Structure 1
């Protein structure tokens, strides 16, 4: 776990107007479907571009698309995810044949993990049996002073009650790693859920308590006792939530950087022996810790002191069982689904087991499956052309920095230096993870999952005192996503997102720059958003702005906050402009520099003709708009408004476009049109 800006990227039909076919991997035997074009039939031509461009570009799709019963949302992102899932299923099925791989190879590890996950009969026979050793260990606790050994054991298998730890690059000394300690252990999606007084909030709290009681019944408790345990656990978690930082507060890296000594931590939060806890996870030499939420950790002694031992033990059991439900028998799986997927997100049906298990394999042994995936779908030519696009967009960003009228030369020089030093990772890592020491069997799914967590944690904790691994990736190469990592000053684009029709190295440049180009620009801009700008060219959390330039940035950002605060999603529910500010800045900045890069490309290579009556600029904006098409069930939409740092898709289109002069020119937006804004109302940062 690290602190980085993750962008859940929507995927859309972004190829040329003419159909483009991709060549199948004939050696592997998998047929790759023909790539769809930028489909103009998905528009709603009853809506003019100057009224609601999101609707104009996607209205036909919105009208005819239904969210599948086994999904809580559906959109361009999910469409690509589904396509990638087919590739992952294919390569995994090939690996399970086991004819060409060594018995201890990564491929066989993935195959065995998947085989154990698909053994539903064996899993049903086990029932709650795999949970009993840890539940017994928790039962044996005699006092609150004995907690650290159990907390260490839980941490190693990926269970994080009360707090979580991970090793990452030190934000202020980026040539070394540091241990981080963060708030953790709430069962509801966000601290604010514990204090909701509206009817929906009360229903969620009631549903959560019922879920807790259900889990205790499944592990053998009496139903009356289980209900009492649920009430006590909710009381404890409410105390934790009250002391927890809000999601908005956690966005500020200056607030979450609190480097203290182990002795200071012990003095501030003496409810456990921290040295013994760290020894229990194999970390014997530790002198300093970054406590991300210092007030929360400092208040833990009071929380523990005012909670009886029985409730603490029940809370530990809950966190252990709840974190394991998806890997156990069907009654546990359904308990988790009914609350987290159905009540909280509105999903009507569970996804087919094979699809769930393919993704579980990819989450736990990402490099094992991703290497097979990359071999199947991501040729070197695609990587080379994508890197060329990144360099073009970086050049456009340099040009925009030079043209800023509100920024001093002193700050501009530092901005150029940061951009020059930005590292770029495309497709897949230079070296794949070696899972040879990871024990994976064919017949114990939940134990395989715990083993994978122990493997990952040992590797993470083992980085302390080691040189920075410049080649490390924090996403599997098959993942449909991208990120910017501030202390490493790097942008990363897995092969999973660099796929047709979202990105096609054979496609029209206007569509590619409007698609993956806008995403590349988005991630670059994260290095210069309201929080990313606080890191310098070395990735250090160090102020490099003049006081006047910082004030000017904040003034311009406030225009964006006010704009997004006014966007209504459901009835009286609006976008949170401050929570989403970083992503909104990155959306606008990404489009601006991708558009500029496209124009620079045309200056060098010549301007193409119109296609189907659309200019290259119009195709660029159409491509961007289809990125964010999507439909959400109301429950999930409300949940995202509370906790997601991204704005809803409609406003990821109409919001940035209303501040882009190039969009006004491309579609003839005039004063008085719904999308028109005066120059004072337009956001002008990058």
Structure 2
């Protein structure tokens, strides 16, 4: 049994000791790259530019991407290190067996562009033949189920979008109201552009993108064998079908709502409430037609999309499927497919001017297919035990700071605070890598068959999930690769997870000044902890169940604070006429603000009442807030920035950094006064967890 968080108090100084400098930081003299700073900007006018402005002025975004960020840089580092491991394995392939042989062959086959080109589109056309031969909508629904079972999923370390081959992305996960059991469910899908707004907006930029997408669909159809003379008209029909899907879909803000998206339907419900699509045929191909219940995330969207399928000519549905599959498997097809896919997804949508290196994409797909096999040697080689130990202690310190905040919270009822602290005490932080590694015994990897390998990897993982659907939930399962530069919170499992790939400078450097580490990775830890108490995470109880545990009065006070934060972010305008969507980004904005406050408390506690030293003229508090801004050192092309605002749940990086304006200590640290642009009067500073 875990000890109550109140027992974490004696650990506070341990975390500070673990972060004490033992060598030269990777960045600067104390962990901040001072050459990146623009000292002509006052932090009170733009804290992000003060810390990162010189870097922004002198940095070019690489041609193969729409943005340049520290997270992407760390993912690139991980990918390069994994590539080195894979290439070493290829060199000694004759001596390898098991998973080592599988990942060497998987990667080598993806890298053999000549062999892929020689095979031509034949593998894709063979997959499409039963789709194009489908006599009716029932037969097509069964084919969509078959293709969905072979879907590998989105590699979470890079820039490769994947396209689920059905308008209803279907999978197996935990039942939010009974997280000890698995349940199948589906959400809305079917779009080839990032979200519904790309279809429904009528401004000039949106119209330009819509035209480019229709042209892209036409080119993809030609690559799948459609006569060029027919392609434009058929692409227009596919686009019209997707626009109809967009009209039926929920907004991203509504799709975030854990209550609204929990809807249990039976197969009979699907047939009655969402006619037009043969659910029995589709779910039968997925092995789910005998399941008593499914979770339907967006019921009205399911109804509207199913009706649309029933009304859309069968040839259009077949063309839509062909485009979907061609886009999804482009890297395992002749180079013309990959070039066209990136020209739209990376170029039109992200502003990139050149395709990424093939090896980086091949690493992503290999890691997605054989995650644990790829990650284990990476961890052995690149993640020292000392880093994990320091992180374990730092997490405990930040959790103790959150517990103190909950204990002293003025607006929450005592009985609710007790439950909140119990939820925090039940947390299970997972650092670096999973406790046990998966085996891929049974996955057939055929050297020279890139397309088939992609399919078999998807089927292997889906069948693994299906086979355990009636068994106990693995609450220690990782949903993110250890090589990934990212972090996440799982409400159902009450965990916070920090992969090894994330734990590098500028996010975490054991040789950096503790203030910088608390402002960087400490903020991220606080961010993930606070997700469990944000507008959605707060709906889950200490056992991870979607179960209201707040009083009406608590909710009213919480909602009042949330509304102020929504209004604050709604006012930000990253591009002329394009404002951040405060409701859509609310969960992340809450976590950004709360995480910063929690991390600051943890840093102060770690000092044990002693003053922080001044380093290079900067106080401890200044270094803390500089460490926070350095994490969000990101540049965007306009197209990528637009995509982030329209379809993302995070505010763009500069405006995430501006969360400092809600924290009194930042004003004191930098002498921020009413004449500065980011100044907020004390009464307008949004404070949620205090």
What is aligned with 2:613?
609
What is aligned with 2:653?
649
Say yes or no: does 1:110 pair with 2:103: yes
What is aligned with 2:154?
none
Q: Of 111, 118, 121, which residue of structure 2 is paired with 1:128?
A: 121
The offset of 1:400, in angstroms, is 0.6
Assess if the C-alpha contact under 8 Å between 1:19 and 1:36 holds in 2.
Answer: no
What is aligned with 1:47?
41
Say yes or no: does 1:239 pair with 2:233: no
3-state DSSP class of the match of 2:662? coil
Within a 5 Å distance, the mapping from 1:256-655 to structure 2 comes to 256-283=261-288, 285-603=290-608, 606-654=610-658
User: Counterparts of 2:501 and 2:279 in 1: how far apart (Å)?
Assistant: 40
User: Counterparts of 1:228 and 1:117 in 2: how far apart (Å)?
Assistant: 34
What CA deviation, in whole Å up to 9, does each residue of 1:624-670 have, x standing for no partner? 0101111110011111110111111111112x111111111211223
The offset of 1:418, in angstroms, is 0.9
3-state DSSP class of the match of 1:177? strand
User: Counterparts of 2:166 and 2:506 in 1: how far apart (Å)?
Assistant: 42
3-state DSSP class of the match of 2:472? coil
The offset of 1:234, in angstroms, is 1.2
User: Counterparts of 1:602 and 1:140 in 2: how far apart (Å)?
Assistant: 70
User: Counterparts of 2:94 and 2:497 in 1: how far apart (Å)?
Assistant: 31
What is aligned with 1:97?
91
The offset of 1:607, in angstroms, is 4.4
Q: Structure 1 residues 74, 375: closer, same or farther in 2, change over 3 A?
A: same
Q: Of 84, 89, 97, which residue of structure 1 is paired with 2:78?
A: 84
What is aligned with 2:144?
151
Assess if the C-alpha contact under 8 Å between 1:17 and 1:612 holds in 2.
Answer: no
What CA deviation, in whole Å up to 9, does each residue of 1:96-130 have, x standing for no partner? 223696422x2221111110011011011111111
Q: Structure 1 residues 520, 550: closer, same or farther in 2, change over 3 A?
A: same
What is aligned with 2:11?
none
User: Counterparts of 1:486 and 1:556 in 2: how far apart (Å)?
Assistant: 22
User: Counterparts of 1:149 and 1:236 in 2: how far apart (Å)?
Assistant: 19
Say yes or no: does 1:69 pair with 2:73: no
The offset of 1:50, in angstroms, is 2.1
The offset of 1:212, in angstroms, is 1.1
Q: Structure 1 residues 488, 101: closer, same or farther in 2, change over 3 A?
A: farther
Assess if the C-alpha contact under 8 Å between 1:16 and 1:37 holds in 2.
Answer: no
3-state DSSP class of the match of 1:541? coil
3-state DSSP class of the match of 1:286? coil
The offset of 1:17, in angstroms, is 9.2
User: Counterparts of 1:153 and 1:568 in 2: how far apart (Å)?
Assistant: 44
3-state DSSP class of the match of 2:178? coil
3-state DSSP class of the match of 1:574? coil
3-state DSSP class of the match of 1:663? helix
User: Counterparts of 1:308 and 1:265 in 2: how far apart (Å)?
Assistant: 22
User: Counterparts of 1:585 and 1:301 in 2: how far apart (Å)?
Assistant: 36
User: Counterparts of 2:254 and 2:311 in 1: how far apart (Å)?
Assistant: 26
User: TM-score, length-normalised on structure 1?
Assistant: 0.93
Assess if the C-alpha contact under 8 Å between 1:74 and 1:632 holds in 2.
Answer: yes
User: Counterparts of 2:139 and 2:311 in 1: how far apart (Å)?
Assistant: 17
What is aligned with 1:28?
none
User: TM-score, length-normalised on structure 2?
Assistant: 0.92
What is aligned with 2:683?
680
Structure 2 unaligned blocks of 5 or more: 1-18, 152-163
Structure 1 unaligned blocks of 5 or more: 1-14, 23-32
Q: Give the length in aligned residue pairs.
A: 659
User: Counterparts of 1:195 and 1:263 in 2: how far apart (Å)?
Assistant: 32
Q: Structure 1 residues 569, 524: closer, same or farther in 2, change over 3 A?
A: same
Assess if the C-alpha contact under 8 Å between 1:156 and 1:454 holds in 2.
Answer: yes
Assess if the C-alpha contact under 8 Å between 2:70 and 2:506 holds in 1.
Answer: no
The offset of 1:396, in angstroms, is 0.3
